[in-house]
Amino acid sequence: MRWIHAARARLRLLFARRAAEARMDEEFRFHLDMEAERLARAEGLAPAEARRRAVVAFGLAERHRDAMRDGRGLAWLDRLGGLALDLRLGGRMLVKYPGLTIVGGLAMAFAIWVGAVLFEMVMLFVSPTLPLPQGDRIVHLRNWDVQANRAESRALHDLVAWRQAMRSVTDLGAWQDVARNLRGSDGEPRPVRIAAITASGFRVAATPPLLGRAIVPADEDLGAPPVVVLGHDAWRARFGADSAIVGRTVQLGDAYATVVGVMPDGFRFPFAHDAWTPFRPTARDDAPRRGPGITMFGRLAPGATLDDARAELARLGQRAATELPDTHRHLRPQVMPYAQLFGGGSSMAETLGIMGLLQAFVLMLLVLVCGNVALLMFARAATREGEIVVRSALGASRRRIVAQLFAEALVLGGVAAAVGLAAARAALRQVGLPFLEATYRNVPFWIDPRLSPATVLYACALTVLAAAITGVMPGLKITRDLGSRLRGGTAGGGTARFGGVWTAVIVAQVAVTVAFPAITLLEVRELRRIQTYDVGFAADRYLTVQLRREAVPEAGADGDTLIAADRARFGTLAEALRQRVAAEPGVVGVTFADRLPRTKRGDHRVFLDDSTSIAAAGVRLGRDAYRYTKIARVDPSYFDVLGAPILAGRGFQPADLAPGARVAIVDQGFVDQVLLGRDPIGRQLRINLGTTPIAGAQVDSLPFYQIVGLVKDLGMDEAEEPDPGIGLYLPAAAGSAFTPHMLVHTRGDPMAFASRVRAIAGALDPTLELSEFQRMDRVADDLVWTWEMFMRATLVMTGVALLLSLSGIYAVLSFTVARRTREIGVRVALGANRRTVIAAVFRRPLTQVGIGIAVGAALIYLGADVLSRTEFRNAPIALSPGQVALLVVYAAFMLGVCLLACVVPTRRALGIQPTEALRDQS
Amino acid sequence: MTLRSQSDALRGSLDLLVLKTLSLQPMHGWGIAQRVQQISDGALEVNQGSLYPALQRLEQGGLITSAWGTTDNNRRARYYAISAAGRRALGAELESWRRFAAGLEAVLRTT
d(CA A815, CA A498): 9
Instruction: Identify the CA nearest to A197 among candidates A275, A136, A283.
Output: A275
Q: Give the contacts of A152 (CB within 8 A, at least 6 positions apart).
A: A142, A143, A144, A145, A289, A331
Dihedral pair phi/psi, residue B80, rounded to 5°: -105, 145
- B39 within a domain of the structure (yes/no): yes
For B48, the closest of A13, A31, A72 (CB atoms) is: A31
Domain boundaries in chain A? 2-73, 83-128+347-490, 135-341, 501-533+781-922, 539-780
Residue-wise DSSP of A104-117: HHHHHHHHHHHHHH
Record: contact A58-B60, CB cut-off 8 A:
no
Nearest-by-CA chain A residue for B57: A71
A695 touches chain B (CB under 8 A): no
Helices then strands, each counted (H, E), chain A? 30, 22
What was the pLDDT predicted at A292? 77
pLDDT recorded at residue A877: 52
Distances (CA, A) of A576 to A569, A571, A591, A596, A760: 11, 9, 12, 21, 10
Q: Helix (H, G, I), strand (E, B), or coil: what is residue A704?
A: strand
Q: How far is A46 from chain B (nearest CA, A)?
A: 20
Backbone conformation region of residue A860, classed left if phi is above 0, alpha if psi is from -120 to 50, else beta: alpha
Is A76 part of the contact surface with chain B (CB cutoff 8 Å)? no
Closest CA to B87 of B20, B26, B15, B12: B20
Q: Tell me the average pLDDT across A744-768.
A: 85
* Burial readout A9-32 (b: 16 or more C-beta within 10 A, e: otherwise): bbeebeeeeeebeebbeebbebbb
Query: Which A residues, 34 through 63, put their C-beta within 8 Å of a C-beta on chain B?
Result: 34-35, 38, 57-61, 63
The CA distance from A30 to the nearest CA of chain B, in Å, is: 7
Locate the chain A residue with the closest alpha carbon to B60: A6
Q: Which letter, b or e, does each residue of A813-838 get, where b requires 16 or more Cβ atoms within 10 Å of its Cβ?
A: bbbbbbbbbbbbbbbbeeeeeeeebe
- The answer, for A23 touching chain B at a CB cutoff of 8 Å, is yes
Compare all CA atoms of chain A with the CA of B69 and give the residue at the minimum distance: A27
**DSSP per residue, A555-585:** TT--HHHHHHHHHHHHHHHHHHHHHHHHTST
Q: How far is A400 from chain B (nearest CA, A)?
A: 27
The stretch A158-166 carries a mean pLDDT of 87
Which letter does DSSP use for residue A224 in this model?
Answer: S
pLDDT averaged over 10-residue windows placed end to end, chain B, 111 residues? 37 78 89 84 73 85 88 87 89 84 85 60
Contacts of A71 in chain B (CB under 8 A): 53, 56-57, 60
Please say if the pLDDT value at position A577 is more than 80.
yes
Give the C-alpha separation, A902 to A910, whole Å.
Answer: 12
What's at A674, amino acid-wise? V
Chain B: residue nearest A23 by CA?
B78
**Cα–Cα distance measured from residue A718 to residue A724, given in angstroms and rounded to the nearest whole number:** 9
**Domain range for B51:** 8-110
Q: For the CA atoms of A43, A47, A50, A51, what is the dihedral angle to 10 degrees?
A: 160
What are the phi and psi torsion angles at A255 (to 5°)?
-120, 175
Cα separation, A37 vs A91, whole angstroms:
56
- Per DSSP, the residues of B50-73 read HHHHHHHHHHHTTSEEEEEEE-TT
Please give the span between the terminal C-alpha atoms of chain A, in angstroms, as a whole number: 60
Report d(CA A457, CA A285) in Å as an integer.
51
pLDDT of A384 reads 76
User: Is B36 touching A (CB cutoff 8 A)?
Assistant: no
Question: ∠ at Cα A850 (A848, A853), nearest 5°?
Answer: 110
Nearby residues of A679 by Cβ (< 8 Å), 6 or more positions away: A648
Query: What does the angle CA A481 – CA A482 – CA A483 come to, to the nearest 5 degrees?
Result: 90
Instruction: Report the share of chain A in percent with pLDDT over 90.
Output: 8
**A61/B29 CB distance under 8 A:** no
CA distance A174 to A220: 12
What are φ and ψ of residue A52, in 5° steps? -60, -45
Given this model, what pLDDT does residue A460 score?
A: 92
Q: Which of A17, A31, A32, A60 to mutate to test the interface with B (most CBs of B within 10 A)?
A: A31
Burial class, A376, CB count within 10 angstroms (exposed 0-12 / middle 13-18 / buried 19+): buried
pLDDT at A246 over 80: yes
Percent of chain A whose predicted confidence (pLDDT) is above 70: 84
Of B47, B78, B85, the CB nearest to A23: B78
In a domain? residue B3: no
Q: Which of A335-344, A449-458, A890-899, B35-44 has the highest mean predicted lDDT (pLDDT)?
A: A449-458
**Cβ-proximal residues to A738 (8 Å cutoff; 6+ apart), any chain:** A594, A633, A732
CA-closest candidate to residue A474, choices A601, A377, A615: A377
What is the DSSP track for A256-309? Answer: EEEEEEEPPTT--TTTT-SEEEE----GGGGSTT-S-B-EEEEEEPTT--HHHH
Q: Is A13 on the interface with B (CB under 8 A)?
A: yes
CB within 8 Å of A18: residues ≥ 6 apart: none
Does B57 reach chain A within 8 Å, measured CB to CB?
yes
Nearest to A64 among B52, B59, B85 (CB): B52
SS3 content of chain B, % helix, strand, coil (to 5): 60, 15, 25
State yes or no: pLDDT of A407 exceeds 50. Answer: yes
Note the pLDDT tens digit of each residue in A440-475.
777 888 888 888 888 899 999 999 999 888 888 888
Q: B7 vs chain A: nearest CA distance in angstroms?
A: 15
Query: Which residues, in sequence order, are bridge partners of residue A734?
Result: A738
For residue A478, pLDDT over 80 is answered with no
Set of chain A residues whose Cβ sits within 8 Å of the Cβ of B28:
27, 30
> What does A387-408 look like in DSSP terms, one character per residue?
HHHHHHHTT--HHHHHHHHHHH
Contacts of A28 in chain B (CB under 8 A): 49, 52
The letter for the amino acid at A393 is A
Task: Confirm or reject contact between A3 and chain B (CB < 8 A).
Answer: yes
Q: With an 8 Å Cβ cutoff, are B56 and A28 in contact?
A: no
A27 vs B: CB within 8 A: yes
Q: Whole-angstrom Cα distance, residue A79 to residue A649?
A: 91
Residue A21 forms contact with B (CB below 8 Å): no
Rounded to whole angstroms, how far apart are CA atoms A336 and A150?
A: 15
Contact A293, A153 (CB under 8 A): yes
* Listed residue (A231, A240, A237, A217) closest to A259, CA to CA: A231
Q: In whole angstroms, what is the distance from residue A811 CA to residue A533 CA?
A: 47
DSSP code of residue A154: B
Does residue A686 sit in helix, strand or coil?
A: strand
Which residues of B fall within a CB distance of 8 Å from A6?
Answer: 60-62
Computed over every residue of chain A, the mean pLDDT equals 80
- How far B25 CA sits from the closest chain A CA (Å)? 18
Predicted confidence (pLDDT) per residue in A92-123, tens digit: 888 888 877 888 888 889 889 888 888 888 88
Q: What is the pLDDT of residues A529-573, one digit of tens each?
A: 777 777 778 888 899 998 888 665 444 445 566 677 778 888 888
Question: Any chain A CB within 8 A of the CB of B40?
Answer: no
Contacts (Cβ under 8 Å, ≥6 apart) of A829: A914, A917, A918
| Nearest CB partner across the interface for B60, out of A6, A27, A31 | A6
Q: What is the pTM of this model?
A: 0.63
Residue A920 and residue A825 in contact, taking contact as beta carbons nearer than 8 Å: yes
If residue A144 lies in a helix (H) or strand (E), which one and from where to where?
Answer: strand A138-145
Residue A310: other Cβ atoms inside 10 A: 16
Average pLDDT over residues A341-357: 66
For the ranges A138-152, A175-189, A221-235, A373-387, the lowest mean pLDDT is seen at A373-387
Residue B76, chain A, CB below 8 Å: the answer is yes
Residue contact A6–B62, C-beta within 8 A? yes
3-state DSSP call for residue A342? Answer: coil
Is the CB of B29 inside 8 Å of chain A's CB atoms?
A: yes
pLDDT tens sequence across A16-42: 667 777 888 888 888 888 888 888 888
**A36 Cβ partners below 8 Å, 6+ apart?**
A47, A50, A51, A53, A54
Contact call for residues A902 and A816 (beta carbons, < 8 A):
no
pLDDT digits (tens, 9 = 90+) for A363-382: 888 887 888 788 778 877 77
What count of Cα atoms within 13 Å lies in the side-chain half-sphere of residue A140? 20
In this complex, is the C-beta atom of A785 within 8 Å of any C-beta atom belonging to chain B?
A: no
Q: Provide the CATH number for the domain around residue B95.
A: 1.10.10.10
pLDDT reported for residue A506: 75
What is the distance in angstroms between the Cα of A83 and the nearest Cα belonging to chain B? 25
CB contact under 8 A, A71 and B76: no
**pLDDT value for A10:** 60
Residues A136, A751: Cα–Cα separation, whole Å? 44
CB contacts of A59 in chain B (<8 Å) are 47-50
Instruction: Say which DSSP state A624 is in.
Output: T
Are the Cβ atoms of B53 and A67 closer than 8 angstroms? yes
**Mean pLDDT of all residues in A846-865:** 81
* Model pLDDT, residue A493: 44
Cα(first)–Cα(last) distance of chain B, in Å? 22
Highest mean pLDDT among A199-213, A372-386, A856-870, A883-897: A199-213
Q: What mean pLDDT is predicted for residues A471-482?
A: 78
Shortest CA distance from B84: residue in chain A: A2
Name every chain A residue with its beta carbon within 8 A of the beta carbon of B46.
none
**Interface touch B56/A3, C-beta < 8 Å:** no
> Is B2 a domain residue?
no
CA A889 to each of CA A310, A856, A882: distance values in angstroms, whole numbers, following the listed order: 64, 14, 10
Pairwise pLDDT comparison (A691 vs A837), residue with the higher score: A837
pLDDT at A398: 78
φ, ψ dihedrals at A630, nearest 5° = -90, 145
* pLDDT over 90 at A768, yes or no: no
Q: CB distance A35–B48 less than 8 Å?
A: yes
